[in-house]
Structures are given as C-alpha cells and as structure tokens.
Amino acid sequence: MIKNMRQLIVCRYFILFLIVFPILGITNCSANPGENDNRQGAVNGEPKWKKKAEHMVKDQISRRGVKSVKVLKAMKEIPRHLFVPSNLVEMAYNDHPLPIGHGQTISQPYIVGVMTELLQAKEGDKVLEIGAGSGYQAAVLSKIGVMVYTIEIVRPLAVTGEERLKKLGYKNVHVKWGDGYKGWPEQAPFDGIIVTAAPDEVPQALVEQLKVGGRMVIPVGASNQELLVITKTDKGIKKESIFPVRFVPMVHP
Ligand code: SAH
C-alpha cells in the first residue's frame, strides 16, 4: 500500500514536470529574444520582425508596383529595426522615413525598394552609394550580391554604419567617411551609382566614375526634387525622370 502511495506521488511529480518544463521553455523564448530580435520578441519561434518585414514588403512596396523578386526578397530578410535608433524600433517597418541623428534620415522603405529596382544591379556588380546613413540601403544592395562602396560625410554615421554592417555580417560593403561629390576614384568605374541625398545638379565626378552602359539613380533639385535615372552611353548621358521626391540635401563639406 505504502509502496503504491509513493509510486503515486512520484508519478504525480513526474507528470507535473512534463507540463511545467515545456511552458518554461516557451516563456523563455519570447521573454529573452536573441540579439537580432532587439526587443521585437518571437511568435512560434519566428522573430516578430520577420512578419513586420513581410507586411512592409507586401503592403508598401510590392502593392505600389515594385516587381523585382530579388529586391523584395532582400527587404524581407533584412532586420530594418536594427538600423534605427533604439527608441524608434517599434516604427522601423512603417511607411515613412525615420530620423537617425545628426539631422539625417533612413529613407522610407518604398523609396529604397524603387531606387534599388531602378538601379538594375546584378550579382557581382560594383555599386557606389552616396550617403551611407544607417547602412540600410547598403545592406539591401549587399543582400542581392552587389559589391558596395558607400560614402558618408557625417563621421559618427560613417563609423556606426560600418560597425553595424560588420556586426550583421555584410562582408561585401566598404564604408568611407568623406565627400560624395568626389566619388571614389580609386574604385571606379562602377556598374551603378545610387545617391541617397539630393544635390542641385548631377555631380560631374559621379558621371565620370560610371561605366558606359551603367546606371545612376539620383534625386536632383533644391526645393523641387525629382528622382532621375541616368544612363551612360558612349555618346553621353540619357536622363529619365521618375517622380518628384523629397530627400535631405547633399551637402558640401
Ligand atoms: N542611405 C541611407 C539614407 C541616408 S540619408 C540609409 O539607408 O540609411 C542621406 C545621407 O547622405 C545622410 O546620412 C547624409 O549625411 C549623407 N550626405 C549628405 N551629403 C553628403 C555628401 N556630400 N557626401 C556623402 N554623404 C552625404
């Protein structure tokens, strides 16, 4: 009889253990998100940000006409919340630009999608970006297999941008602190150039550093800016206007 009572108690503790252990396991997963989740938490083992990135791509980018499968895929896979200041993490996947300090912004997701698609960069291409900012646009290019050279004029942004890209494992990105008006002559010519701040006119040095057949995507203008795609031919340049935009100005040092 006593033996049976003991067995019963042991058995009840064993059942209790089987119930409690998995509950603790699940709670720990969502309460202690990994570093990459950055307070975004997890649902069924998948970080919450992945759902947010998927919605961002579907509702803001694909729905407005961006078709490039590789651009859409890259933007779904990049943790955009790790490119914004920690107090703005909750807004990282929303349909607008966000401040990144020093009076600068990370571009609206849709604009990043459109500009990357317009660049038509292929795997293995060498691309120059002007205005590294948070490093997000560079990460998108890197994810589609492009070799990225990016210049940033605000030193602290160049430093944190480079650190962030390195930490997140984007190895094919080179960040330089400097003046984008000069381009990166040591690395020229480039298959593509993407400019994420607006100059009043297309900088001549950038045209010179573009390969014949290459494309430059650039917002141009002081008060009224338009997004241009410039194609370099052996006879000169061809300009195509896409739509009006509003970017931070490309500054002179
Ligand atoms: N591509 C960035 C968005 C950057 S906003 C991202 O994905 O986050 C534009 C950036 O251009 C700012 O960081 C600004 O400091 C930089 N910038 C402005 N004038 C510049 C210049 N002459 N040379 C290089 N960078 C410049």
The token pair at 196 is 């994420």
Residue 131 belongs to domain with CATH number: 3.40.50.150
Phi, psi of 190 (to 5 degrees): -110, 145
Residue 52 · residue 93 · CB < 8 Å: yes
**In the predicted structure, residue 232 carries a pLDDT above the cut 60:** yes
Q: What is the mean pLDDT of residues 170-180?
A: 96
Q: What is the mean pLDDT of residues 137-165?
A: 98
pLDDT tens, position by position, 36-55: 444 567 777 789 999 999 99
**In the predicted structure, residue 15 carries a pLDDT above the cut 50:** no
Q: What is the mean pLDDT of residues 142-162?
A: 98
Q: What angle do CA 167, 159, 85 make, to 5 degrees?
A: 70
Within a domain: 234: yes
Residues 6 or more apart from 117 whose CB is under 8 A from it?
66, 67, 68, 71
Classify residue 226 as left (phi > 0), alpha (psi -120 to 50) or beta.
beta
Please give the number of the atom of ligand 1 that sits closest to the Cα of 105: 5
pLDDT attached to residue 19: 34
Within a domain: 39: no
Q: Give, as one character, the DSSP assignment of residue 94.
A: S
Distance CA 138, CA 150 (A): 7
pLDDT attached to residue 40: 64
CA of 153 relative to ligand 1 center, distance in Å = 7
Within a domain: 15: no
Nearest CA to ligand 1 atom 11: 131
Within a domain: 86: no
- Domain extent at residue 101: 96-108+117-245
Within a domain: 31: no
Catalytic residue among 62, 68, 107, 142: 107
Task: Kindly tell me the sign of the dihedral angle through the C-alpha atoms of 122, 123, 129, 133.
Answer: positive
pLDDT tens, position by position, 188-222: 999 999 999 999 999 999 999 999 999 999 999 99
Please give the number of the atom of ligand 1 that sits closest to the Cα of 138: 7
> Is 62 an annotated catalytic residue?
no
Distance CA 103, CA 205 (A): 26
Within a domain: 40: no
Task: Kindly tell me the sign of the dihedral angle through the C-alpha atoms of 241, 190, 208, 247.
Answer: positive
Using the structure block, give the residue that is written with the tokens 């589609």: 144
Helix (H) or strand (E) holding 17: helix 2-31
**In the predicted structure, residue 2 carries a pLDDT above the cut 70:** no
The model's confidence at residue 112, banded by pLDDT at 50, 70 and 90, is: very high
Within a domain: 158: yes
Within a domain: 172: yes
Binding pocket residue ranges, ligand 1, CB within 6 Å: 104-107, 130-131, 133-134, 136-137, 151-154, 157, 179-181, 196-197, 248, 250-251
Q: Is the peptide bond before 189 cis (omega within 30 degrees of 0)?
A: yes
CA of 197 relative to ligand 1 center, distance in Å = 5
Number of domains the chain contains = 1
pLDDT attached to residue 39: 53
